[in-house]
Amino acid sequence: MDNQDGSVYAVLGEQTDEDGRWAFGTGFHDPLSGVDRAVPAGVDRADLAAYCLMLGDDALVLSQRLAEWCSRAPELEEDVAMANIALDLLGQARLLLTRAGEVEGAGRDEDALAYFRDEHEFRNVRLAEIDCGPGPGGDFATTIARLLVFSSWRLALFSRLAAGSADPVLAAVAAKGVKELAYHRDHAAQWTLRLGDGTEHSHARMRAGLDRVWPFVDELFTPHEVEQRLAGQGIAVDPAELRSEVDGVLDVVLDRAGLSRPALPGLPGPAGRLGRDGVHTEAMGYLLAELQHLARAMPGARW
Partner 1 sequence: MVTAGRPEGLAGQPAGQPAPESTVDDVWRVAGQVRDPELPVLTLADLGVLRDVRVTGDGRVAVTITPTYSGCPALDEMRADLRASLVRAGYRDVDVRVVLHPPWTTDWISERGRRALAEHGIAPPGRVGPRPAGPVPLNLAPPSAVVRCPRCGSPRTTELSRFGATACKALRRCADCREPFEHLKEI
How many whole angstroms separate alpha carbon 21 and alpha carbon 246?
A: 45
Specify the residue, 120 or 179, whose C-beta has the smaller distance to partner 1.
179
Interacting residues toward partner 1 by CB under 8 A: 1-2, 6, 8-12, 14, 16-17, 21, 23-25, 28-29, 31-35, 77, 80-81, 83-85, 87-92, 94-95, 155-156, 159, 163, 168-169, 171-173, 175-180, 182-183, 185-187, 189-190, 193, 245, 249, 252-253, 256
Specify the residue, 126 or 159, whose C-beta has the smaller distance to partner 1.
159
How many whole angstroms separate alpha carbon 171 and alpha carbon 165?
A: 5
SS3 assignment, position 148 = helix
Phi, psi of 267 (to 5 degrees): -85, 115
Specify the residue, 28 or 286, whose C-beta has the smaller distance to partner 1.
28
Residues in Cβ contact with 97 at an 8 Å cutoff, skipping those fewer than 6 apart:
52, 53, 56, 57, 60, 110, 113, 114
Specify the residue, 5 or 282, whose C-beta has the smaller distance to partner 1.
5
Nearest approach, Cβ of residue 77 and partner 1 (Å): 4
From the number of C-beta atoms within 10 Å of its C-beta (0-12, 13-18, 19+), residue 121 rates as exposed
Specify the residue, 150 or 224, whose C-beta has the smaller distance to partner 1.
150
Roughly what angle, to the nearest 10 degrees, separates helices 45-67 and 140-164? 150
Output DSSP code: residue 118.
-
Specify the residue, 176 or 292, whose C-beta has the smaller distance to partner 1.
176
Phi, psi of 239 (to 5 degrees): -65, -20
Sign of CA dihedral 70, 290, 294, 292: positive
